[in-house]
Amino acid sequence: MTPSFSIPLLLLTVAATLPAQTRTIAERLGYPAGTKLLILHADDLGVAHSADSASFAALERGAVSSASVMMTTPWITEVAAWAKAHPNADIGIHLTLTSEWSTYRWGSVAPSDKVPTLLDSAGFFPADVGPVVARASQVEVERELRAQIDRALALGIHPTHIDSHMGTLFATEPMITTYLKVARAYHLPFLGLRGDYPGMARAPLEETDVVPDAVVMAGPEVPRDQWKAFYLHALSTLKPGLTEMIVHLGYDDAELQAVTAGHPDYGSAWRQRDYDVVTSAEFQQALRDNGIKLVWWRDIGAIVGKP
């Protein structure tokens, strides 16, 4: 997700269920009504071999339950090969319209002449959300989102859901409307939020949509020496219902240091800290101590449209 908007500790709380629903998400997934469910999700597959390796390791050991891939990035074929070898893995599409690193850039999957309002003068996506939403044609946004999903399908990745890199598709009502249109066209669950939050558009959700009750992610406000404490506190205060916790995994190695140079937020050291926390014995014990059940976006897809 790696959003550019600022919400204290990026703890986003949303309504538990729609009024028309007679059962909670937990009950619909086969758990008691008050169960604490968690999608522990790794963003940014494909951005670098380091990020892929760390995310694959976490997925294989069950330290995270879900991940999503950026189809605009250079390492997507590695993700596709891993996904084919792990057909039960929960892999979504991290829909991308920004290219935030200083010297490591990417552009569209759709032909550049078909999406000119999404690209800068050098042919790359803009580095931040503002220029995207200021210039983007929604016809071209939809064209690019469909191209990214189609490319995943062509590579043999069968997405379990979609979400949005840097929150770009949550930034304005036209953007989120296009995002939901594409999600429904491909019959894919999606990350969405209920309610009003600064810098985020209200999602025009339908009664049959299933979205998390809360989303938790460490932001730049979290001191480095309080990294594990932030996550452990989030687990100890997790509410009943469905929460997604978003992490950004990677190894603090030469490759990822070069990719994220000059960008400490969500950089290589950040991603190493996230990896160290979620794979730690203390974090895993906290999941057990707080009665938290890990679930998958694939589970959400199975109940969409069902009472």
Predicted local confidence at residue 22, as pLDDT: 76
- Identify the pLDDT of residue 16: 37
Q: How far is residue 298's CA from residue 301's CA, in Å, rounded to a whole number?
A: 5
* pLDDT of 196: 65
Q: How deeply is 164 buried, as exposed, middle or buried, from its count of CB atoms within 10 A (0-12, 13-18, 19+)?
A: buried
CB 193, CB 215: distance < 8 Å:
yes
pLDDT interval class at 129 (50, 70, 90): very high
The C-alpha atoms of residue 85 and residue 238 are separated, in whole angstroms, by 33
Confidence of residue 93 (pLDDT cuts 50, 70, 90): very high
Across residues 22-41, what is the average pLDDT? 94
What mean pLDDT do residues 69-88 have? 97
Amino acid identity, residue 62?
G
Name the pTM for this structure: 0.92
Q: What confidence tens digit (pLDDT) does each residue in 221-246 have?
A: 999 999 999 999 999 999 999 999 99
Across the range 75-80, mean pLDDT stands at 98
Predicted local distance difference test score (pLDDT) of residue 170: 95
Find tokens 């770009």 and name the residue.
168
Q: Pick 8-303's CATH classification: 3.30.499.10, 3.90.1150.10, 3.40.250.10, 3.20.20.370.
A: 3.20.20.370
Please check the confidence at residue 5 and state whether its pLDDT lies above 50: no
Q: What is the per-residue pLDDT for 254? A: 98
Please report the pLDDT score of residue 4 as a whole number: 44
Mean pLDDT computed over 256-272: 97
* 8: pLDDT strictly greater than 60: no
Give 7's pLDDT tier (boundaries 50, 70, 90): very low
Mean residue pLDDT across the chain? 92
The rounded radius of gyration (Å) of the Cα atoms in the chain is 18
**Cα–Cα distance, 234 to 287 (Å, whole number):** 10
Average pLDDT of span 125-138: 97
pLDDT band at 2 (very low <50, low <70, confident <90, very high): low
- For residue 79, give the nearest of 106, 104, 111, 44 by alpha carbon: 44
Residue 119 burial class via C-beta count within 10 angstroms: exposed 0-12, middle 13-18, buried 19 and up? buried
Closest by CA to 72, choosing from 180, 178, 164, is: 164
Determine the straight-line distance between the first and last CA of the chain, rounded to whole angstroms. 29
**Percent of the chain having pLDDT more than 90?**
85
DSSP assignment of 16-69: SS-TT-SS-HHHHTTS-TT-EEEEEEEEEETS-HHHHHHHHHHHHTTS-SEEEE
Q: Which helix (H) or strand (E) element contains residue 289?
A: helix 281-289
Average pLDDT (259-263) is 96
The pLDDT assigned to 211 comes to 92
Query: Once rounded to an integer, what is the mean pLDDT over residues 247-272?
Result: 97
Q: Coil, strand or helix: which one is 145? A: helix
Measure CA 12 to chain center. 14
pLDDT digits (tens, 9 = 90+) for 162-200: 999 999 999 999 999 999 999 999 999 999 876 666 667
- 205 — pLDDT class (breaks 50, 70, 90): confident
> Which is higher by pLDDT, 180 or 9?
180
Pair 169, 208: CB distance under 8 Å: no
In this prediction, residue 19 carries a pLDDT of 43
**Number of neighbours of residue 237 by Cβ within 10 angstroms:** 10
pLDDT value, residue 305 = 76
